[in-house]
Each structure stands twice: as C-alpha cells, then as structure tokens.
Structure 1
C-alpha cells in the first residue's frame, strides 16, 4: 500500500445491526448509513500473443457512507484489513457497480481488524508503562499487517524517540509525513506528541518538515503555529520564530504560551523593532522588573 490508511475506528460488531453492516437500509425514512464490505470485479488479460487469456479479478472494499451522502471506499489488503488509498464515489455507483459481501466482513475482515487493533492497544499500554521493547514488538507486528496504519506508526515512532533512537525514528518520520491520515483531527494528540518528541530529540529539521506538512493540509491553527515557532527557535531562526508566534496570536490574541514566548524574546533583546515589524508583531516594550524565564515544555499545547 502506498497511500494513507486509517482504521483507528473500532470495527462494527457483526452481531449488531446487520442492515448497517451490509448496506441494506431497513426503511427509507430511518435507514442506517452504509458500512460494510463490498466487492468489484474487473477483467484482466494474462499472457501474450496466442496464449492470452482473460481472468476475472475480484477486489474487496470497505465502504463507509459519509454525511454528504457520498461513499468512501478503501481496498482490503492481503491481510484482510482496510489499507491503502481512500476514494469517494457516488452512492448510486456503489449500488450498481459493487456487490455487498456481508459474510466476508463477519467471517474474515472483522476478526482481522479486531486482531490488528488489539496489537496496537497492547503496544500503547506497554509504551505508557515505559516498556519500550515490548511496545516495539507489538507495533511492528501491527505494521506487518498494515504498514500504513497511522496509530501503529505513531506508536513505533514515539517508542523510538523515547528511547533516543533518532535514526530509527527518522525512518518512521519519513513514512508518516507521506500519510495524509496522520494529520487528521482524530490523531491530534499523537500528532502533537510526535512533533514535540522530534524537537526534544534535536531533530529540528524533521520537526519543521512535519509541521509544514500539517500546515499545508490543515486549516489555520494557533497551536500548530506555536509549535512551528518553538522549532524555529531551536534552530536560532528568531525572525521566523516571531513570525509564527505572531500568526498564532492573530488567530488567538489570548494564547498565553505565545504571548509569554514573544515577550520573553523581547525581554532578552533578541528582537529589534525591524524584525518585529517584519514578523507582524508589536514593537518591544520595556521589560518587567522581574526577568521572565524561557517558556518551558508546559507551554506546549496538548
């Protein structure tokens, strides 16, 4: 699989509403949204010349109806879990061009997703306890099932960062930065933890690339701008630091960490009026009598 994958969600219990699983609404007025496995078929040519023959290839898809009525589909990989690029299709296309596969979901896909999620949850529990080698083992087993699983990649990357293994963490970083799903709101806590740990491990260039990727995908976010400012500060790029602190304060003038950080830079005479003007920040004020300390890690947004 080469594109983003995200099945952080708990799979629907096949013992529940079978109308939901199979995509067969119970009524026109109060129907459940489509969620389940569907299949498509395509004709493939095998061989060359006079030995050419046609075979029918069957592909299984996880289908999930969205709020706007379109359906998001994602292929099922060889390990029977949703993985790879997601795409959206019209609901009418799903009904006319795909076939529901309720038994395949119940007997094959549901158990595989449940087993994958169990590995990830066990890895997360080990990491929380500081049992990093056990956590690494569980996350690696999960990635053997789905190399693009967002939670497993974050978990393994954080495990390496917490062990100070920057080279291994960099390999995970290279994978995560290519996964759009890693920057979705549901992974916000893992996203923040990973970015902070990149910086703590002095991987400043990776942290900036990571945050820049998020900036290109997400709507404006003051906490993201604050984190970018922190990374630039570690690289001693003070003008860029002030610029992103100013962007954070444009969105949230009450952002305490950004306000304190910007004032600390002014108090330390690290910013002249020209730099402040270029960054869009107010000019320096007279420092308080009590010297402020540099913003610490508690200033990091969750």
Structure 2
C-alpha cells in the first residue's frame, strides 16, 4: 500500500496517494436554452482550460482564448469539484493547442532577436503577430512596449502601458527583468507619471520589496517631489538597510542638502548639484546594480547596466 503524504493547513489537509499532479488541457460543458416556446432548443457549449494542480490540492484553471492558447485570469477550483466537472483533452492539446503556442512563442523569440540587434520595425511586426494570437501575452506586450520606447514613440508605448498596468500577470516573478526594463525605459523617455503609476500598481501586488521602493523613489525625484522620494528611499532601506543603490541615492540627496540633520541612515554625502545622473560627482546612481543581478542576459550576452537597482518580485 502506497504511503500517504498529508499537507497541513487550516483545513483538514490534502491527502496524496503518490499520483502525479493534474496538469494539461481539460474541458467543461454547459447547456444553454436558445429560443422560446416550440422553437426552444438546447445547445451545448464546450470551454477548454489549461489546468495545473497546486501544492495545496486545489487546481488552477485558465481558459483558452479563441485561438486556443491559455489567456486571461486564472482561478482556483477545489480538487473534488474539478474531478467532477472537468474532462481531459490530451488529443486536443496535441492537435490544436501546442501548435498555436509554438507559433506564438516563435514570433516572440524572433521579435526579441530583432530588438536585440536594433531592428525595431521587424521586432514590432513579430510581437504584433504574437499578440494576434494572444493580445494579453505578457512577454509580447513588454517586448512591443520596449520596442516603442527604443524608438521614442511615447504614444504607442503609452497604449501598451495602459494594457500592462491592468494585467496582474505582468507583475509576476517570472517577468521581473522585463518589468524592470520597461519601468526604466519609461523613465528614460521622461514618462515619469506613467512610470510612477506603473510602480505604484506593483506596490499593490508586491509587498515590502526594497527594489520596488527604490524605483518609486527615483520616479518621485525626477518629478521634483523630494519628500515622497525620501519616504520611499527610507522604506527601501527599512526592508534592506544594506541596499547599495538606495544608500548611494541617500548620500546623493544628503550631498545636495536635501536631508535634515539626523534624518535617515548615517552615510557620507555624495554628489554635487544637478539630477542624479551617471556623471554626478561621487555617486553613480544610473550604474547602480545589485550584486545578485546577472551580469549576462537570458541569451548569454553581456547585460547592459540598469539605470537603477533591479526590481525583485520574488
């Protein structure tokens, strides 16, 4: 008899029997009545879902869109309810879902390669091809937004920003590097209001992240709001008193006489006048990078210096 593993929580716990977790494409059916009186008839509507069982025993389900790729918000279903209402569709995954995902991912990869070599219009085309399959795909939206920012096209970049700020998946840990690049590039394009709104949206979803607080402080400084800048820098240093980028930023503010006597951490002042750009004496805020941040990108190429400490969402 197989051993049983039990996960303790506030409920009775989930009993596992050694079976693999549920994962794959499943379907549900709903019956709807169409028409009235003698012309009334029943129709069966089939909905496809991408599902994955979680550690707590519940099952995360995400609908497939009209192009049959997972898209839109996820929700959790109790395991017993799932087993009652959902039916496996392995053949449908092989024949329909996998080819659609492969086509979309291929377009995104091509877009990323075009963007890396500066071919902005080719990158735009590929990202748009991917978004024609799934307009809410986070990688494609980030890629297209970054392409517009590379070109200095603030109008189109703002359209992408409006979409991204409404997608909770855009703030997931797996997208933290894209998230960071997008925020930095908005700030470089002087889209300070959008960058700040973007980071404040992240603050609603990610609690007590020192890198996020640092980036918010940076945006407030660019907007000329020193008090809010200091407030978020102190929040950053409260979470991580040794965060180098925030310590350097505080030293810069201190050097400009923007910090009161005895206020904040005791660091040597740095920087003389002007905004906190790379050329400021004693403090290079734009070149600040956490030691834990990879020195190479996902493709193994040397990573360009970030203009502020990278946000960490994990």
Q: Aligning the two structures, in what range does the TM-score lie when normalised by the shorter sequence? A: 0.7 to 0.9
In the TM superposition, residue 68 of structure 1 has moved relative to its aligned partner by 1.6
How far apart, CA to CA, are the structure 2 residues paired with 1:36 and 1:251? Answer: 39
In the TM superposition, residue 48 of structure 1 has moved relative to its aligned partner by 4.2
Secondary structure of the 1:80 match is coil
After superposition, the CA RMSD in angstroms is: 2.0
My pick for the range that moved more, 120-129 or 172-181, is 120-129
Alignment match, 1:164: 152
In the TM superposition, residue 252 of structure 1 has moved relative to its aligned partner by 0.8
Alignment match, 1:52: 40
Structure 1 pair 68–288 and aligned structure 2 pair: CA distance change class (3 A): closer
Give the structure-1-normalised TM-score.
Answer: 0.84
Secondary structure of the 1:298 match is coil
Secondary structure of the 2:19 match is coil
Structure 1 pair 207–101 and aligned structure 2 pair: CA distance change class (3 A): same
Alignment match, 1:217: 205
Question: How many aligned residue pairs are there?
Answer: 269
Q: In the alignment, which of 133, 138, 146 is matched to residue 126 of structure 2?
A: 138
Q: In the alignment, which of 94, 99, 118 is matched to residue 111 of structure 1?
A: 99
Q: Which has the higher contact order (CA 8 A, sep 6+)?
A: 1
Alignment match, 1:17: none
Secondary structure of the 2:198 match is helix
How far apart, CA to CA, are the structure 2 residues paired with 1:289 and 1:40? Answer: 62
How far apart, CA to CA, are the structure 2 residues paired with 1:59 and 1:289? Answer: 60
Q: 1:141-199: per-residue Cα shift (whole Å, max 9, x none)?
A: 10010110000000000000011000000000000000000001110000000000010
How far apart, CA to CA, are the structure 2 residues paired with 1:288 and 1:170? Answer: 35
My pick for the range that moved more, 263-272 or 242-251, is 263-272
Give the structure-2-normalised TM-score.
Answer: 0.81
How far apart, CA to CA, are the structure 1 residues paired with 2:17 and 2:88? Answer: 21
1:49-198 residue pairs with structure 2 within 5 A? 50-198=38-186
Secondary structure of the 1:31 match is coil
How far apart, CA to CA, are the structure 1 residues paired with 2:270 and 2:94? Answer: 66
Q: 1:17-50: per-residue Cα shift (whole Å, max 9, x none)?
A: xxxxxxxxxxx74422111111111111223455
In the TM superposition, residue 90 of structure 1 has moved relative to its aligned partner by 1.1
How far apart, CA to CA, are the structure 1 residues paired with 2:37 and 2:287? Answer: 69
Query: Contact 2:249–2:285 (CA<8 Å) still a contact in 1?
Result: no
Q: In the alignment, which of 287, 292, 302 is matched to residue 298 of structure 1?
A: 287
The structure where helix makes up a greater share of residues is: 1
Alignment match, 1:205: 193
Query: Contact 1:238–1:271 (CA<8 Å) still a contact in 2?
Result: no
Query: Contact 2:252–2:271 (CA<8 Å) still a contact in 1?
Result: no
